[in-house]
Amino acid sequence: MRPYILAETNWKALSEQRFELAVLPWGATEAHNYHLPYGTDNIEADALAAAAAAYAWERGGRLVVLPTIPFGVNTGQSDIYLDMNLNPSTQLAILDDIAATLSRQGVPKLLVFNSHGGNNFKPLLRELGLRYPDLLICMTEWFRALDREALGVAPGDHADEVETSLLLHLRPDLVLPRESWGKGASRRFKIDALGESWAWTERRWSEATVDTGVGDPSAATAAKGQEIVGLLQEKMGQFFLDLCKADPGDFYQQEAT
């Protein structure tokens, strides 16, 4: 039993335990190229949040990882078979109930651990922050914590080299053989600006992709997946630990620059 995983711990242990930080992993259920399971984002969320929590726990952080929410925002994949969509307003309702529970029971900090690019938590957390001033609410996205250039992986953001490597490491039994992997080719918008960071419209997945993947997975290996888990465990684990130890009332550096 890992004492920092709520689904594994028990009432006996919790009768003597109080936590500084609750971590809420949030994934999605959706197609990932031909070869990765629909639960890919949840498998990643489970594994990466638990690895980072172990790092923080071993260094004295008192934190608990809540069960992963398995459905995410998939508004751009409404015609992809059995991609499950939760609307952002539904996510807000779920988060509100979770924040209410934590706030009522005196857990002072919540970290939403995002594992799916379609989930956009910032506006939701801004609204919740006003509702729960006694709860410090933060979020993190593991896929942005990764230095892709340093890793030397091919560009992509969905069922790409990174995700395929992670699944080859975490759940090789659920990855189809290499000959079935799609190329992860995608189509850019005709309007160049929409491909840049200062303009945006939602990608219609069935038109923008060929096999639902975005990014060539062909160089993926289990060893790369293991390396990614190790890098993220340390980087995100230190962040978890810093949050555990932080005083929400004394959150800024002394010097203003």
Instruction: Tokens 């608990």: give the residue.
Output: 64
29 by DSSP, 3-state: which?
A: coil
Residue 40 vs 114, nearer CB to Zn ion: 40
Residue 108 vs 184, nearer CB to Zn ion: 184
The span from the CA of 24 to the CA of 225, in Å, is 23
Please list every residue from 194 through 213 that binds Zn ion, using CB under 5 A. none
Number of residue whose CB is nearest Zn ion:
41
Interface segment toward Zn ion; rule CB under 5 A; list 13-21, 34-42, 81-89, 239-247: 34-42
Residue 40 vs 74, nearer CB to Zn ion: 40
Residue 41 vs 46, nearer CB to Zn ion: 41
Task: In angstroms, give the least distance from the CB of 163 to Zn ion.
Answer: 5
Contact 180, 124 (CB under 8 A): no
Interface segment toward Zn ion; rule CB under 5 A; list 40-48, 54-62, 201-209, 213-221: 40-48
Residue 40 vs 209, nearer CB to Zn ion: 40
Residues 6+ apart with CB under 8 A from 239: 52, 140
85 by DSSP, 3-state: which?
A: strand
Task: In angstroms, give the least distance from the CB of 246 to Zn ion.
Answer: 30
Please list every residue from 50 through 109 that binds Zn ion, using CB under 5 A. none
Whose CA is closest to 170, among 182, 162, 158?
162
Contact between 41 and Zn ion per CB under 5 A: yes
Give per-residue burial for 11-29: e unless 16+ CB within 10 Å, then b. Answer: eeeeeeeebbbbbbbbbbb
Binding residues (CB under 5 A) for Zn ion: these are 40-41
